[in-house]
Chain A
Amino acid sequence: MKNKDSYGHVRGESLFVDDITVMQGTLHGLVFDASIAHGRIKNIDYSKAENLEGVVRIFTHLDIPGENQIGGIIQDEPLFAENEIHFMGQPIAFIVAESLAIAKKAKSLIEIEVANLPIITKAKEAFEKGLFTNAPRTFKKADVNEGFKKADYIFEGEAFTNGQEHLYLETQASYAYPLENGTIKIISSTQGPTAVQKTIANVLGVAMHSVELEVVRLGGGFGGKEDQATAWAAMTAVAVYHLHVPVKLVLERHDDIRMTGKRHPYHTFYKIGLNKDLKIIAFEADYLQNSGAAADLSPAIAERTLFHGTNSYYIENVRMTVHSCKTNLPPNTAFRGFGGPQGMFVIEAAIAKAAQELNIPAYKIQEANLLQEDDEFSYGQIAKNVLIQKVWNSAKTTFNFDKKSKEIDAFNAKNTALKKGISLMPITFGISFTNTPMNHARALVHIYQDGSVGVSTGAVEMGQSVNTKMLQVAAQSFGISSQNVKIETTNTTRVANTSPTAASTGADLNGKAVQLACTNLVDRLQRVAQEVLELENKSSISFYENYVYVNKKKTSLTWHKLVSEAFIRRVSLSENAHYATPEIHFDKKKEKGHPFAYHVYGTAITTVTLDCIRGTYEFDSVEIIHDFGKSMNLGIDIGQVEGALVQGLGWVTMEEIVYDDKGILRSNSLSGYKVPDVFAVPKIIKTIPFVSDGDDLAILKSKAVGEPPFMYAIGGYFALQNAIAAFNPRYNRKLDAPMTPEKTLLALYGE
């Protein structure tokens, strides 16, 4: 089945927040934000701006009826700056005017005086000064010092990964308007409707039931709208609270890039110990996570770095600590992989370093350490149904790795101006929110009396086609054709207390809830069918292709007729179901448990050609064996693999976030921050599903797919490193992503 939204998408008829027909009298908002990264506010003069014709009101922290606080995990982030500015782009006030153009003019008339304070942009500097957003977290397994004592080889080094701008094509947006009795309705482009609702209730000092959140769809999220959509929605809600008229805020691209947090940059110090047989017996790492000026989701992201710090490898002795360093950057936030990519990059960097020192290809170390059945992860979970060795071997044989490697060696021996590189990248990614209490969802399923079906869940559609998957679950459960099923908007009055659509869990959690609701309805409808068809029992009844079947034989009773029979018999045609992932648990004190419902496995082989004259490169191919379980929609799932891979390749190659020493973002536009275009993607991307039984905790045994493939791109980074080394044998690998053409050329000709 195709993405159910694609018909509207290709016709430009799908609605995003900015496309909703506005009500009469709608006002337009614009954020007045800090232009310095750290300082004390001495004085702000709004008078000229306020006096401009068409300006309705300018809201500041003084206008907040409840609490000036939007921090999710830790309450450390004001909606509007009060006395101190902590990052460039920090919201200070919200200008509401009759038009956006007027609001822009007003913004230029605001005069602010600040006293500058020292600015820290680098995690390492914050670490040295003891500035943190949260306490450090450490995962330990066995005794790492003992491990190093036993090691034949020990290598130490640093690895750096820069941040990444989400660049969802639709910028952050919110449209809020008053309903009756003090209720405010907000249409927001958020991945976490409940978080926005809860935060707004707190900011306004009202009950959650007075705030209705609605999400139609997102023009891309990638984690950037998990926590960071909240501020904009809250500002419009504050304005509506006071003005009682509709207020709309759609961030301009430059404002969005400047004001919102990004993927966390990490600066890591690692130490790896290996035996002569290449077994990694000890690994330790100190990850300095650049959290930015407030915690945002940093604590949870830090945790996932630790969960994936050893990637697909069994390592006997481990000690990994992540330090969430507080700097004067916008609070960094969720981004596809959620700290996982940063963690995996480090272990791969450590392996690459060891391989270079030992003068062997990195894949030999990777291969010697792949997880096996019943191995214990650093966090205590015992690996079950492990597929990593199988997918690794399958990738090597299916894509002729040995032959390709030899061809590349021969090519490199013959050519100077062009060099090729190859890499293998295994991934093992855990599925579930690592914060166990978040792993639940609800679905509300209505069968209307004409037989059509409406499904509401907490899942937010942002391009990943979760709505299509929900529709498939419902249609399959009822045995009806897909046009009979409609997936409703995500709305907090229909499905409450939801977890954000994140951590690749959207389809699993919400799909399982839909499945439960449908199962209960099916049960009731089977009873009705039993009566109508005058059968002894209902066990022989099934629904298929819009008909009732008995003992797998079609009857004359249609779905529509059955539903109307049920309605006449006063049988409930609605069902609300709740699903909570079984089996999972995690003890944050011991840092041990069983946090993941299951793991997703895969291996990618990447080849790259490097132009050694110009320092530019093209990826020839990325060939992937991926564990989809039993994919419920291979077209959609392959789209997730390709999209995640290319986004990941952007992260490790051309996407370079540049903050200057003053904490001012220099890569502040699409002309200064480049994401992959159609010419920048690998010439070949081949994704072959690994045939397996799937997992019972995955919806229809179809494993989660949103984030894991992002990390295949790390292989792209190391393939490029190998190509550089083929040209410049003196190249001392600096494992510092992204590998821009600049770093590449300097590496080709550097010492």
Chain B
Amino acid sequence: MIEFILNNKRIKSSAKSGMSLLHFIREEQGLKGTKSGCKEGDCGACTVLVGSLNKDNSISYQSITSCLTPLANVHAKHIVTIEGLNRPKELNVAQKAIKDNFATQCGFCTPGFVNSLSGLALQHKKVSKEDAINAISGNICRCTGYKSIEKAAEEVSNKLQNKDSTNELEWLVAEHFVPDYFKEIPEKLKQITSRGSDVEGVLVGGGTDLYVRHADTLLDQDIQQATHIVGHTIRVHDGVCTIDAGTRVTDLLNHKGFKSYFVKLPEFIKLISSEQIRNMATLAGNFVNASPIGDLSIFFLALDSTLHIKKANGDSRYVPLKSFFRTYKKVDLAEDEFIADLSFELDNNNHFNFEKVSKRTHLDIATVNTAIRIQLTNNVVYDVAISIGGVAAIPTYLHKTTRFLKGKELSVVVLIAAQEVLQSEITPISDVRGTAAYKRLLARQLFYAHFISLFPNQFQLKDFIA
């Protein structure tokens, strides 16, 4: 039995745990305000909010795409659809801002935008205009050209500047951001006991990849929830950072320790999918998916990360991430194994950079992505690791290039030579994301981009072009 609160309604359902939340909302509950636009997390029309009870009885709300969310993952949560944001005969703040700014035309994407902006209001932090735009980064509108929506988002964030942080929910209700029943939700959620995991079925983390392809087949099946067997915390201890397999991309961004180590982390993370997807997608999910262009795979490869792999019986082993990916979509993971966590060494002497180019800069799959971790001593490469995606069947660790660079003094000549080594290690193919020739050129450019970004006083583009 899956139990949760849908808007202001207690749900007890015997539906299969693999059914998508979108299907449940629209077809089982008949709530038609949540729209189905693409069923692959790429349009945001089905955006809903998911609220999780914290230990202090507050609730943390995040936006998610309901098309990719298995019903199992919403047990004991508060799910808010557009119907649950409506106030009787009056508009809430996000709704009014959209209406007043002509930020809705055909209206099909609009409930998704309202949810994303209402989710912004429910964040337990001060939000900026930039946060407001990020909140709608996963919502596609084909009519407006977004300028009116930007204005609406700005209006919402402006009104949030006065939020009373001592009594957030009271304030949000009083100021008409959310209906007043929200105040009763923590008590109601407390009454729902946790649910044992299904013992059979496919193991699902965030579902953001699996449900793109298999939502139809999982509709009438049970799934096993990854969150029942793996954690979702980030720990820093003795110079080692350990991240649980169930950690979501958003958690990386919100973790102070992790964030402090990567100065440009918000910029990097912004290149990875959208707010909604980042709120769902897990670390291990990106690894087991084994996409040759997995952004997190590339990110953590360059950190020389190690995976901790477990079995249900408690057996465990460690595998370097760079040997985890075997061939296209094949990884070093047995049927009865799962990834428990990932760890890597933190070293403040490291320079780190992540680059990604795709057809659309945001919410797109990379054509080529690459990361570098480099340590210099007197401009000599003491340690370096470079990863690159989209140029081979697996996320690639550039063994030869890194070996070539180690011990050398950084110079334009050395980097041009290293780039040639890089070209010998990649085998891109032509596909919908680009031709092989383009990917090779892009690999070269992004390799140089690492050094131009990390050492702007030492390297400039013009040094590398004849």
Contacts and interface: CB of A to CB of B under 8 A. Distances in A.
Interface stretch (A150-158, A459-467, A472-480): A459-467
B91 A3 contact: no
A623 interface: no
Contact of A676 (B139, B216, B360): B360
A12 B441 contact: no
B359 A741 contact: yes
Interface stretch (A75-83, A218-226, A579-587, A715-723): A218-226
Contact of A463 (B32, B107, B448): B107
A170 interface: yes
Contacts of A669: 38, 40, 42
* Max chain B Cβ within 10 angstroms of own Cβ: one of A12, A167, A741: A12
A168 B106 CA distance: 9
Interface in A575-634: 612-616
Interface residues of A, number: 76
Given A645-B145, A654-B359, A169 B137 contact: no
A169 B362 contact: no
A376 interface: no
Interface string A1-27: 011011111111111101101000000
B398 to A, nearest CB: 19
B148 interface: yes
A195 interface: no
Given A10-B91, A613-B461, A678-B133, A636 B102 contact: yes
A555 interface: no
B107 A5 contact: yes
Contacts of B32: 12, 15, 18-19
Given A7-B91, A656-B359, A746 B437 contact: yes
Nearest to A221: B106
Contacts of B462: 416-417
Interface stretch (A90-98, A138-146, A679-687): A679-687
Nearest to A681: B146
Contact of A2 (B30, B100, B145): B100
A615 B148 CA distance: 28
Taking residues whose C-beta sits less than 8 angstroms from the other chain, chain B's interface range is 35 or more
B410 to A, nearest CB: 18
Contacts of B345: none
A679 B137 contact: yes
Contacts of B35: 12, 16, 18, 169-170, 219
Interface in B407-451: 431-435, 437-438, 441-442, 445-446, 448-449
B36 A18 contact: yes
Contacts of B99: 2-3, 6-7, 10
Q: Is the interface of A mostly helix, strand, loop or mixed?
A: loop
B76 interface: no
B106 A685 contact: no
Given A7-B99, A643-B145, A101 B445 contact: no
B362 A615 contact: no
A469 to B, nearest CB: 13
* Max chain A Cβ within 10 angstroms of own Cβ: one of B82, B102, B148: B102
Contact of A635 (B95, B102, B359, B461): B102
A11 B42 contact: no
Contact of B452 (A465, A613, A658): A613
A10 B114 CA distance: 7
B105 interface: yes
Contacts of B441: 745-746, 749
B365 interface: yes
A19 to B, nearest CB: 4
Nearest to A687: B147
Interface of A: 2-3, 5-16, 18-19, 21, 101, 104, 166-170, 217-220, 222, 252-253, 416-417, 462-465, 612-616, 635-636, 638-639, 642-647, 654, 656, 658, 666-667, 669-672, 674-681, 685, 740-742, 745-746, 749
Given A166-B142, A169-B43, 6 more contacts: A9-B107, A169-B109, A170-B106, A220-B106, A677-B137, A678-B149
17 contacts: A8-B107, A10-B110, A10-B114, A11-B91, A12-B82, A14-B107, A219-B106, A417-B460, A465-B105, A613-B445, A614-B445, A642-B147, A667-B432, A675-B140, A676-B145, A678-B139, A749-B465
